[in-house]
Chains A and B, each alone.
Chain A
Amino acid sequence: MADIKGVLVDITRCVNCESCVVACRLYNGLEEGKNGAKETQAEKDKLVSNRWTVVQKVKVEKNGNAVRRYVKQQCLHCLEPACASACFSKALQKTPEGPVVYNEKLCVGCRYCFIACPFEIPTYEWDKSFPRVQKCQMCLARVADNQMPACASVCPTSAITFGKREDLLKEAKSRIAANPALYVDHIYGEKEAGGTSWLYLSDVPFEQLGFNTKVTHRPIPDYTWQVLKWTPYIFVGWGALLTGMYMYTKRRAEVHAEEEMYAPVDKEE
């Protein structure tokens, strides 16, 4: 856990060049598909199955001025991912390196991961016969090889920083401390959903940028486990109780001739 990798996105540094979006598409071999020129801006800002990251254009007000901010969006790679905990066939897994990755071979396609994700990240290939769940894989092969993800490697303004999550947290805190007038005092992803591998810094409050700031700070799998852990006890306890009641209430001699009691329906409608 100490060695887990992460990425720090500093929204104040992003200039909306979208190099990261292109790099993502090229490295992961995502086809352009149907979405293209005809899309509205709102549609372009949305994650879809062949677009694992987007740079959202958000208009906000800062000190009375209307300004634009550019928010890179992709899977946040939770430290304890709700999606992986929800997967009943282990198709989604948290790797020791940090990325939460998807294995299409194991996927049944139940889409419970969609229900589980607090950040609305997974997308589906609805137009395919055998659709896959699609989302950022944090370039696992590169990260496992201690290289940065494709998007981070091309960022010209160092808005995207790759490293150990621990180090990135320290870096984020020192940036806030060095420039408290610029940054809001909040590292998004430090505590959200129990902590995420991706972290964000911003100069405007995160809720204004469309971040889910109401998300619980407790790891989401905890909630489920609190209930699910009782399953074996209920199975045994309830089973024993029922057996007891069955024995206790069983009539001593009364054997019913069940075959006498019921009959096929034999009447015209």
Chain B
Amino acid sequence: MARTLHFGRWHFRLTPTRYVLILLTLIMMGVAVVRLVTGLGAVTNMSDQWPWGLWIGFDLLSGIALAGGGFSTALIVHILHKDKYAPVVRAALLTSLLGYIIACVSLFFDVGRWYNFWRPFVYWGYHSVLFEVFWCISLYTLVQIIEFGDIFLEKVKIPALKRIIERALPFLLILGVVLPTLHQSSLGSLFIVAVGKLNPLWWSMLLPFFFVWSAFFLGPAMVTLEGTMAARAYGREPETPVFASLTKVTMWMLIIYFIVKIIDLNYRGVFSLAFNGSFESNMFLLEMIVFVALPIVLYAIPSIRNTQWGVFTASFLVVAGVILNRANVCFVGMAQAAGAPYSPSIWEWAITLGLWSLLILGYCFIVENFAILPKEEHGKTVTSGSGAGLRA
């Protein structure tokens, strides 16, 4: 069943898993065409009460947050020059780039009058948070494409172009941290306007802080997850010492996150809402205890953190926790104001599943054809810098 397609200097291996992913991608494309032609009502379960469904609540909010690995590792490696983490930086950049492209595509499917998508570039509704989100995401996607161009041009040699990109790279790297900082926080600010609608357990003037902070601490966890999975898929040695060391950033940021959440709830006088036994309060406690407090403990214990399963489990919880947080803000916290139930239609799921399948396929194709993952020598990973790879 497994065979490799060759086209020119590119190759792509086909395996049973990949056939399934390709099938899901094709279904997604079919549904996308139907949706773009017939409108949203025929395909989705969205309504006046639930104007934002799965595509915004999951693909956009979680997708962009999960891509946070790109900007946090870029900050750590390229801006702060912590070179021992360099082995994971390209993989993080790649996942981030693919995540943003997916988010932009699902946004395009989601907007009702999609031929008008360019309007905010011309009509400056600067008083809208969405305006900032729109500009920042567009620009950052562009920045990431250029950054990736640098890697692309290592294989496809166009020296003149590569020289231009290399010269612009420091500027792009800084822009590539500033822009995501702004729009990751703005994705939280989006819900400030829902004052009185979003449940007070999540509504806060600090929403932008919580969103950008969690997107940042999610970065190392996400890098750990995808690194471990890629290592398994390709029969490589995972960079566990790098992950274990990197996730200490996540641990400290989680601790601060937890403390600020509690202070914020107390300051707004809604702390007791967390314990009133309602569905919202239980979801909030689940989010804070299982997906924030528990990973702190797991990361804090060296004998857990330094093992492959330990750092993977803790990181998995962190990533799942951020997805849960976005779902809580967009769905659970808004349910009471909506006053009607919502569950995504099978077609909404088809689009989501197909887009994420496409992301995985894209990731596989690129790491197999471009220099993304660290070079392996006799089953050992090359690490630059001062021997982070030797501990463990």
Contacts and interface: CB of A to CB of B under 8 A. Distances in A.
Given A123-B48, A256-B384, A262-B374, A109 B234 contact: no
A122 B119 contact: no
Contact of A87 (B87, B125, B178, B384): B125
A227 interface: yes
Given A90-B125, A256-B86, A242 B75 contact: yes
B113 A267 contact: no
Interface in B192-215: 192-197, 205, 208
Interface string B231-254: 001111000000000000000000
Nearest to A259: B154
A43 interface: no
Interface stretch (B76-84, B221-229, B310-318, B344-352): B76-84
Interface in B33-57: 37-42, 46-49, 51-52
Contacts of A104: 113
A224 interface: yes
Nearest to A234: B182
Interface stretch (A20-28, A159-167, A213-221): A213-221
Contact of A86 (B115, B134, B177, B193): B193
Contacts of A108: 111-114, 116-117, 119-120
A15 interface: no
Contact of A262 (B113, B189, B375): B375
A245 B80 contact: yes
Contacts of B193: 82, 85-86, 112, 115-116, 220-221, 223-224
A150 B116 CA distance: 31
Given A108-B120, A227-B192, A130 B15 contact: no
Contact of A89 (B120, B132, B376): B120
Given A224-B193, A239-B174, A269-B234, A264 B130 contact: no
B268 interface: no
A179 interface: no
A205 interface: no
A264 B372 contact: yes
Given A88-B131, A228-B189, A264 B125 contact: no
A130 B367 CA distance: 39
Contacts of B123: 89-90, 106
A71 to B, nearest CB: 17
A259 B154 CA distance: 8
A179 to B, nearest CB: 31
Contact of A261 (B87, B127, B181): B87
A212 B194 CA distance: 14
Interface in A223-268: 223-228, 231, 234-235, 238-239, 242-243, 245-246, 249-251, 254, 256, 259-268
A222 B47 CA distance: 28
What band does the interface of chain A fall in when counting residues whose beta carbon is under 8 Å from B? Answer: 35 or more
Given A115-B51, A242-B79, A85 B40 contact: no
A38 interface: no
B127 A225 contact: yes
A235 B367 contact: no
A86 B384 CA distance: 47
B90 interface: yes
Nearest to A126: B41
B371 interface: yes
Given A118-B196, A126-B39, A260 B375 contact: yes
A88 B120 contact: yes
Given A126-B41, A228-B127, A235 B235 contact: no
B339 to A, nearest CB: 8
Given A124-B51, A261-B375, A269-B234, A224 B42 contact: no
A76 to B, nearest CB: 14
Interface of B: 2, 13, 15, 37-42, 46-49, 51-52, 75, 78-81, 83, 86-87, 90, 110-117, 119-120, 123-125, 127-132, 134, 154, 170, 173-175, 177-178, 181-182, 189-197, 205, 208, 230, 233-236, 334, 337, 367-376, 382, 384
21 contacts: A86-B129, A89-B116, A89-B123, A90-B123, A108-B114, A114-B48, A124-B48, A126-B48, A131-B39, A215-B196, A224-B192, A224-B193, A242-B79, A242-B174, A246-B81, A246-B173, A249-B79, A261-B374, A262-B373, A265-B372, A267-B235
